[in-house]
Amino acid sequence: MVKLALVSENARDYGHELAKGVANFAQRRSDWTLELFNPTDVVSNRDVLHGIDGLISHVNDERTCRILRDLDIPIVNTFAKSITATDVSVDCDHAGIARIAAHHFLKRRFQNFAFCGFPGLPFSDPREHAFTDLVAANGHEPCVFRGKNLTNWVKRLPRKCAIFCANDVRAYQVIQTALSLERPVPSDLAVLGSDNDTIICAFSPVPISSIDPNARGVGFAAARLLDAALKDPLAHKNRPVFFVKPTGLIERASTSAYQIEPDWLGRLLLFIDDSLAENLSSADIVAKSGYSYPVVEKTFRKNFGETVADYLLRIRMEKAEQLLSEGNLTSKEVAVRLGFRTPQHFCTVFRRHFGHTPTEHGKSLQDGCMTRK
């Protein structure tokens, strides 16, 4: 039997999902046995790793890293930063996460943008850089929190501002601060987190929209890379860094706002978002608007470059992609949730739109499809 270990902090959802991904791959290897250690276990007694043949690491503290450097075994690190001189790294795609955030806010026509993170932390800096670069490329100058006096920073933000936070902890802090300053969320400040920590998102006074980084996919990919290293020690001799595509944005109340003119269009878009399960038609949307069909069609073409029907299809497909990527629903359940007449009709529309079936799409993310740096 091959004895393997996962050393990871598991207090939050990311660690739990990472462990699930490792376990999913391990089920395919009848000769694997897995042990799970917290970094504090390793620091207090390094002998717990005696006899381990290979290891997956999700640690960032220097004390644990020093211990792991002394091990003469294959190691896969789940931060982009290497631990040893020979390890291979796989991480969530921080730039991809930031792109989802920026596109979400740009699509909702925000003109003011901000990033709130933790300067110097390995997950925060790349998210900040990718988000601010993309926002700037679209003609906007974002405000960036540099770690000094969050209350004053939030107080000075412009009205109708879209804030992307490095993680859900920071988003929770921003929302608490905004409400204490009587700045409503999301009508004044729209706040988006990252990592989809479901407890933090739910306990926030305004439930937090968040980007799921696909930690389960990272865990699966890490186990697959470790399997290759165990079979061939030179499999990753160039110490590559791999990145796993994020699952997508899980929208909750903290970003449920559009900054778009006319005002009735913003209200209509929220109605569409909330009514996807009801098999909406273009006629339903026009009736809800209170305006004539030509007026609504002209307004959609002016703002989105597409008809009401095309907009509705695109929103349905984006939502389908998100639900399938989360891996909690079957394609049949997604079809019902999005108001399709039959699962077969949903599969046909999905394949026409994306070029692959719903099943193929969900499996590709859950198996940790990687890009190499």
Condensed to tens digits (0 to 9), the pLDDT of residues 269-313 reads: 999 999 998 889 999 999 999 999 999 999 999 999 999 999 999
Domain hosting 22: range is 2-93+215-248
User: Which CATH number characterizes residue 7's domain?
Assistant: 3.40.50.2300
Q: In the structure, what pLDDT confidence band is assigned to residue 370 with cuts at 50, 70 and 90? A: low
pTM, to two decimals: 0.87
Residue 54 in any domain: the answer is yes
- Tell me, yes or no, whether 89 and 233 share the same domain: yes
Please state, in angstroms and rounded to a whole number, the distance separating the CA atoms of residues 23 and 340.
Answer: 34
Instruction: Say if residue 108 is in the same domain as residue 208.
Output: yes
Give pLDDT, residue 120. 84
**pLDDT classification of 86: cutoffs 50, 70, 90:** low
209-212 vs 32-37, strand pairing mode: unpaired
Asked if 205 and 287 sit in the same domain, the reply is: no
Same domain flag for 21 and 167: no
Exposed / middle / buried, residue 152 (Cβ in 10 Å: 0-12, 13-18, 19+): exposed
* Domain identity same for 102 and 207: yes
112 and 192 share a domain? Answer: yes
Task: Report which of residues 22 and 368 the model is more confident about.
Answer: 22
105 & 39 share domain: no
Consecutive H or E run containing 367:
none
Domain assignment present for 256: no
**Do the Cβ atoms of 8 and 215 come closer than 8 Å?**
no
Same domain, 276 and 298: yes
pLDDT at 368 > cutoff 70 = no
- pLDDT of residue 372 exceeding 70, the answer is no
User: What is the predicted pLDDT for the residue at 84?
Assistant: 66
* Residue 373 maps to a domain: no
What CATH number is attached to the domain comprising 320?
A: 1.10.10.60
Residues 118 and 190 in one domain: yes
Looking at the fold, whether 117 and 221 belong to one and the same domain comes out as no
Residue 324 — pLDDT band, cuts 50, 70, 90? confident
Number of domains in the chain: 3
Claim to verify: residue 143 and residue 188 sit in the same structural domain: yes
Q: Are 219 and 86 in the same domain?
A: yes
| CA dist., res. 253 & res. 269, Å (int) | 14
